[in-house]
Amino acid sequence: MADIVALMRRAHEPGMPADWLIRSTHSRRLNSDDKLWQKVLASEAVGEIQSVMTARAEQTGRTIKQALRMKRVTLRCGLSVTCVIATKIAAPAGIKPVEWRLLMNREATGLDELVRLIDWYRTRWEIERYFNVLKNGCRVETLRLGAVEHIERAMMLFMIVARRIAYLIRLGRMCPDLDAALFFDQDEIHGAYLLMKKRRPSQPPRLNEVVRLVAQCGGFLARKGDGEPEAKTIQKGLQRVMTAAEAIRSLRSERVLA
């Protein structure tokens, strides 16, 4: 979502205006004829925040610090907005600094409220990941159901699946050393090792280890430069692992397995 003036105006029109917080993609003119970004960046920082960036294809997860600058301004179009710019402090060499430029209709009266509004923005990545899993992992757009009630039932099921996959992606990267048994039952863990023909470790396996193993069941190659698995391979792998787990339970009930 970019800073679309028509959308920003429309949010003010209802009797109960909708709050919005969007990325600023243009350094718009102010009614004072100054430019938006330059005006905000010239102000003193009001504080700092610290957050964790999840691992990406070519980068490991890391903690970043950002300086916050904020100013309430009136755009040339007549809209009053709060502009917030969060700039990276001491970015590592060779890595593009993380910078957020945001516009919102709400006024932040202090640092605590400003941090809370930025936390709203940070949830965007989780929301996007969830819908990416729903669309590309669960492939809900390929459903060919003729009745609304059938679509609703299918969506409820796929939304549960998508939530689990998105949860595994996030925690597998953010908290890789958690006990995998907190997120997989023992038969699923057993099934993942069996499918990949790997010996199960004597110690409880870590979450990231099992997530990567599940993704390998779905086609993830797990080479040194492949980074962390994404939704599609985890979703495919989970299908195979859950089938294997069901087979293990069926064999156990027939007393074939101890």
Domain residue ranges in the chain: 5-106, 132-253
Nearest alpha-carbon partner for 165 in 246, 241, 238: 238
Cross-sheet strand order for the sheet of 80-88:
21-23, 100-104, 80-88, 62-74, 47-53
- Give pLDDT tens digits for 164-173: 999 999 899 8
Q: What is the pTM of this model?
A: 0.68
Q: How confident is the model over 12-32, as a mean pLDDT? A: 82
Tell which residue, 119, 58, 125, 51, has the closest CA to residue 88: 51
- Token pair recorded at residue 236: 């495919």
At residue 79, the pLDDT reads 86
Phi, psi (5° rounding) for residue 100? Answer: -115, 135
Question: pLDDT per residue over 199-241, tens digit each?
Answer: 999 999 999 999 999 999 999 999 988 889 988 899 899 999 9
Task: Tell me the CATH number for domain 132-253.
Answer: 1.10.740.10
Q: State residue 49 phi and psi, 5-degree precision.
A: -130, 155
Nearest to 46 by CA among 64, 66, 27: 66
Q: Could you tell me the two tokens for 258?
A: 């101890």
**Mean pLDDT for the stretch of residues 51-60:** 63
Superfamily of domain 5-106: Transposase Inhibitor Protein From Tn5; Chain A, domain 1 (3.90.350.10)
Q: Do residues 206 and 182 lie in contact, with contact meaning Cβ atoms separated by under 8 Å?
A: no
Confidence (pLDDT) at 147: 87
Q: What is the mean pLDDT of residues 71-100?
A: 85
Answer for the pair 191, 183: CB distance below 8 angstroms, yes or no: no
The DSSP symbol for 105 reads S
Q: Which helix (H) or strand (E) holds 88?
A: strand 80-88
Measured between alpha carbons, how far is 24 from 2 in angstroms, rounded to an integer? 6
